[in-house]
Structure 1
Amino acid sequence: MFIVLGATGHIGSELVQNLDAAGKKVIAVVHDAGKAGDIRTASVEPVVLDVSDSARLHDLFRQGHRAFLLNPPADPGGDTDAVETATARAITEALHGSDLEKIVVASTYGAQPGQGIGDLSVLFDFERQAEASGIPTAINRAAYYYTNFDMLLASAREGVLQTPFPRDMRLPMVSPVDIAKAAASRLLSEPVDVGIHYVEGPHRYTFEDVAVAFSAVLGRPVRLETIPREKWEESFRAAGFSSEAARAYARMTATTVDGPQAPADPWRGDVTLLDHLGNLSGT
């Protein structure tokens, strides 16, 4: 039995379908009871559960033999680092004594020790706490999600795409479809397949490339506007982020822009940026 957290999200829903297609039985953990029926099949059993409830999650883990762990994103209107750290700790505490034979952890490029740098520090801690459970742990660090562009569709339709990233910075990016394929592969591999793997799409893109791709799928020019570094926190707050979340996201962006080179030999998926934006816009 495979257990999948975040089973109705972009990655989890694809992963559940992959495992179902492979003939595996799946316990699909969902937060919203209204979505549970959408993913039920003969082999997929949805379970409504708040993953911050460590005791209930522990009981659930004892029903499976392998699990995919995804730390859900917090509401950016609050203190995202504090909330996500607490949730990650609840998930990993539930692992102890569960007798799972293997876990796959969803993480991110650039994960590193620190405080207040958003996903980079939160997910690094998630990785370390998962490994501390003693269960064989496969970590998939994924590149910049194409789905980050979903919220920019309305602005792109108006002809403007704003980003804090330098227009010529070439960034590894990836589709949740490919993240799910990589997760399925490691869930199904032997328990000795552990450690960190990097996951990205077939190409790396600049944000100039993103603007060009939006132009192609929308059939209109899309102009790229680069937000100056000193305006990053302000721009996040203007988008509805709390002061704490805006600060963390600005620091995460700075660390990514100033950070080390991307890995030389990642696992590469098939979905291109144009594929994703075409599906997003309905073209």
Structure 2
Amino acid sequence: MTHIGKKIVVTTPTGHVGSRVVRLLLQAGVRPTLLVRDPARLDAVTRDRVDIVQCDQGDSDAVRHATRGADRLFWVDPPAPADSNPIAHYTRMGANAAHAVEANGIGHVVFLSSVGAEKRTGAGEIDGLARTELLLDETSAEVVHLRCGYFFTNLLMDLAGLRAGQLPTSWPLDYPMAWVDPRDIGEIAAARLLSDWSGRQRQAVHGPQDLTFTQVAAILSRALGHPIRATRISHNDFRATLRAAGLSPDHAEGIAGMSAGLSEGFVPEDKRSIITTTPTALAAWAHVHLAPLVGTS
């Protein structure tokens, strides 16, 4: 059963996942309410078909006011500022979401979480997403946590390195993990927002297959038309690189802590299945989205 007549609120609607959620809701006949910090980032065509509330998700009162009357909420903890502690940042955002859910009696919440949140501690900044899971679970809403794999779009963060044929990472090169297209995550989130469920649930979003960084480099080599070599950097060197880029010590630790905490003996709680597997292959995504930016030879 779908709920086109329900008021659906979407946070981070201009992000890789949120923008896909918005498009699918529009195509389903829904006029969603979008919480956005900078409405100018929305394209004109979308603005004509949605209700916009300018809102800083870090402002608890603003979030409560912006979600008044909502039946369903897609919640994404917004990215942490470079000078912040990301675990504390995500925890505060989660508390704001939980407060709004309780205050406004929001019935269903879809939360964008991550593989590794099941550890609860020891997974770097993902610990903040784990705390958001717990805070939402304490509300009276029906909640589903989407525990997502490693985003394809993370590759967009080092285009210069890819142009130079390098794929540096702090993950072990032979460690297989879920890689996923954020658009596919958006499709699952939209499906959940338009359907019924009850209780506290989790749904992993693992992409089409687990990949090692060595395999990713081979895929990118073919897609980009020049050799890409994956190289392992130590966790300490990675922390130093992040600090040199202007991140605070806490923020650098939060990012480095993900690979440090999840690559040694970690096994995701949610197994790969027909439910967790999404269709878009990394090769196809790279041809469409990465090759034009990197340049092929």
TM-score, normalised to structure 2, is 0.88
- CA drift at 1:57: 1.5
Identical-residue share of aligned pairs (%): 29
User: Structure 2 vs 1, CA of residues 277 and 238 (structure 1 numbering), >3 Å: closer, same or farther?
Assistant: farther
Q: Which runs of 5+ in 1 are unaligned?
A: none
Q: Does 1:209 align with 2:218?
A: no
Q: Which runs of 5+ in 2 are unaligned?
A: 1-6
Q: Does 1:60 align with 2:66?
A: yes
8 Å contact from structure 1 (residues 24, 43) kept in 2: no
Question: Partner letter of residue 209 of structure 2?
Answer: H
1:31 maps to: 37
2:280 maps to: 271
8 Å contact from structure 2 (residues 90, 128) kept in 1: yes
- CA drift at 1:222: 1.4
1:223 maps to: 229
- CA drift at 1:133: 1.5
Bigger shift: residues 239-248 or 205-214? 239-248
**Per the alignment, in what secondary structure is the counterpart of residue 172 of structure 2?**
coil
1:101 maps to: 107
Matched positions, count: 282
- CA drift at 1:37: 4.5
| Structure 2: distance between partners of 1:93 and 1:141 | 22
- CA drift at 1:230: 3.8
Question: Partner letter of residue 290 of structure 2?
Answer: L
User: Structure 2 vs 1, CA of residues 189 and 43 (structure 1 numbering), >3 Å: closer, same or farther?
Assistant: same
8 Å contact from structure 2 (residues 120, 127) kept in 1: yes
| Structure 1: distance between partners of 2:14 and 2:66 | 17
1:280 maps to: 290
Bigger shift: residues 140-149 or 239-248? 239-248
Q: Does 1:113 align with 2:113?
A: no
Question: Partner letter of residue 253 of structure 1?
Answer: S
- CA drift at 1:144: 1.0
Give the alignment of 1:1-283 within 5 angstroms: 1-38=7-44, 40=46, 43-111=49-117, 112-114=119-121, 117-192=123-198, 194-262=200-268, 263-264=270-271, 265=273, 266-278=275-287, 279-282=289-292
| Structure 1: distance between partners of 2:69 and 2:163 | 47
- CA drift at 1:42: 5.0
| Structure 2: distance between partners of 1:37 and 1:149 | 25
- CA drift at 1:114: 2.6
| Structure 2: distance between partners of 1:31 and 1:259 | 39
- CA drift at 1:46: 2.3
Question: Partner letter of residue 180 of structure 1?
Answer: G
RMSD across aligned C-alpha pairs, in angstroms? 1.9
- CA drift at 1:66: 0.6
Q: Could you list the per-position Cα deviations for residues 20-56 of structure 1 after superposition, in whole angstroms to 9, with x for gaps in the alignment?
A: 1111120011111321344635542222111112112
Q: Could you list the per-position Cα deviations for residues 166-223 of structure 1 after superposition, in whole angstroms to 9, with x for gaps in the alignment?
A: 1111111111101101111111111327411111211111101221122122211112
User: Structure 2 vs 1, CA of residues 88 and 192 (structure 1 numbering), >3 Å: closer, same or farther?
Assistant: closer
Bigger shift: residues 266-275 or 185-194? 185-194
TM-score, normalised to structure 1, is 0.93
Bigger shift: residues 12-21 or 87-96? 87-96
| Structure 2: distance between partners of 1:193 and 1:177 | 26
User: Structure 2 vs 1, CA of residues 221 and 63 (structure 1 numbering), >3 Å: closer, same or farther?
Assistant: same
Question: Partner letter of residue 16 of structure 1?
Answer: V
| Structure 1: distance between partners of 2:142 and 2:149 | 23
| Structure 2: distance between partners of 1:276 and 1:242 | 32
Moved over 6 A (4+): none
8 Å contact from structure 1 (residues 167, 208) kept in 2: yes
- CA drift at 1:91: 2.2
